[in-house]
């Protein structure tokens, strides 16, 4: 038995955002959101759909759900950090909150928005793996209004193997972190919805088209991560050789530029659409095409 890497955006959306994922997502959110009352029902917005994911023009790679009390939850899996990431999460949450209203609507119609972001890198200096941010008064910590929450789960800080997990939250997080390395559903997993998540992540249940998408996505992310690490290494080496702070900065910048160019070329040769490549390197599709033309690609 072989399972998908749940940390890739495609696999994450398949498991948690498919039409059959309603109970899986409800169980996962009840385990992680720390809501005053359990979620009784929810609607998955823009369910996972393979043809839409191929081009990604009409489909986001996060998962959105509207709860029975009209609250919205935005769930995102992010493997690599990038400049402006924290600001993007806040912006997207605020945008979803504001976009609920038309000009003539009353503010009382606004419903809460929760952004649950799972990252495979460390964001904050404290040790705990889950953090919840709300609007509060600075000195006495009085809540302003509980309409916007930002919740982060940092996978590197979660170190329990799945067989040692005690709570259902721990088991869900271990599932996201470890599924790819497992060869069977652990005997310690008794929860029906978590078992269903494992079954949905079983590669045997995927079509050839889905498997091709998953493999290309993993390869693209591997190339991106390797390029970033290489750029950092080359930047440090060049900076050390120059021996001054300016040399370090220039070396890092040159490494970043080289990493970006290698990423674009490798992704293009791997068959990744140019508009997707542009979204990862902060370039327009026209700029990507112009760059490829200069490289005779």
- For 157-179, what is each residue's pLDDT tens digit? 999 999 999 999 999 999 999 99
Are both 189 and 216 inside the same structural domain?
A: no
Are both 286 and 235 inside the same structural domain?
A: yes
How much is the pLDDT for 143? Answer: 87
What token pair was written down for 57?
A: 């023009």
In contact, 264 and 287? CB cutoff 8 Å? no
**Full domain range(s) for residue 252:** 208-294
How much is the pLDDT for 105? Answer: 77
Name the domain boundary from 205, 235, 266: 205
How much is the pLDDT for 255? Answer: 61
Are both 168 and 221 inside the same structural domain?
A: no
Name the domain boundary from 165, 181, 205: 205
Q: Is the pLDDT of residue 9 over 80?
A: no
Are both 38 and 104 inside the same structural domain?
A: yes
Q: Is residue 143 part of a domain?
A: yes
- Through-space distance between the first and last CA atoms of the chain, rounded to whole angstroms: 40
Name the domain boundary from 181, 205, 229: 205
Confidence band for 245, pLDDT divided at 50, 70 and 90: low
Are both 160 and 236 inside the same structural domain?
A: no
Q: Is residue 3 part of a domain?
A: no
Residues 45-74: what's their mean pLDDT? Answer: 73
Are both 69 and 105 inside the same structural domain?
A: yes
Q: Is residue 286 part of a domain?
A: yes
DSSP state of 194: H
Domain count for the chain:
2
Q: Is the pLDDT of residue 227 over 70?
A: no
Q: Is the pLDDT of residue 12 over 80?
A: yes
In contact, 148 and 113? CB cutoff 8 Å? yes
What token pair was written down for 137?
A: 């008064």
Are both 262 and 136 inside the same structural domain?
A: no
* Residue pLDDT, tens place only, 106-154: 888 899 999 999 998 999 999 999 999 999 888 888 889 889 999 999 9
Higher pLDDT, residue 251 or 39 = 39
Segment of 205-214, 234-243, 270-279, 284-293 carrying the highest mean pLDDT: 284-293
* Cα distance between residue 185 and residue 103, in whole Å: 50
Q: Is residue 198 part of a domain?
A: yes
């Amino acid at each position: 038995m072989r399972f998908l890497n749940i940390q890739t955006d495609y696999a994450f959306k398949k498991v948690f955002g498919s039409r059959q994922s309603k109970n899986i997502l409800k169980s996962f959110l009840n385990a992680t959101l720390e809501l005053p009352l359990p979620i009784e029902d929810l609607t998955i917005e823009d369910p996972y759909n393979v043809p839409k994911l191929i081009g990604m023009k009409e489909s986001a790679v996060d998962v959105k759900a509207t709860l029975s009390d009209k609250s919205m939850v935005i769930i995102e899996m992010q493997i690599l950090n990038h400049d402006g990431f924290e600001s993007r999460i806040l912006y997207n949450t605020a945008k979803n909150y504001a976009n609920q209203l038309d000009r003539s609507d009353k503010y009382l119609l606004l419903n809460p928005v929760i952004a649950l972001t799972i990252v495979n890198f460390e964001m904050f200096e404290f040790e705990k793996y889950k953090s919840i941010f709300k609007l509060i008064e600075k000195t006495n910590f009085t809540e302003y209004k509980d309409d916007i929450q930002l919740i982060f789960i940092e996978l590197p800080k979660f170190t329990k193997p799945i067989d040692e997990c005690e709570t259902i939250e721990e088991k869900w997080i271990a599932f996201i972190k470890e599924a790819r390395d497992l060869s069977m559903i652990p005997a310690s997993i008794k929860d029906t919805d978590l078992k269903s998540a494992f079954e949905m992540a079983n590669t045997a249940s995927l079509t050839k088209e889905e498997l091709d998408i998953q493999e290309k996505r993993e390869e693209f992310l591997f190339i991106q991560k390797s390029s970033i690490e290489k750029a950092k290494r080359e930047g440090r080496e060049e900076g050390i050789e120059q021996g001054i702070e300016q040399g370090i900065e220039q070396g890092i910048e040159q490494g970043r530029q080289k990493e970006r160019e290698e990423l674009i070329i490798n992704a293009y040769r791997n068959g990744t659409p140019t508009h997707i490549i542009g979204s990862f390197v902060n370039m327009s599709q026209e700029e990507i095409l112009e760059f490829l033309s200069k490289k005779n690609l």
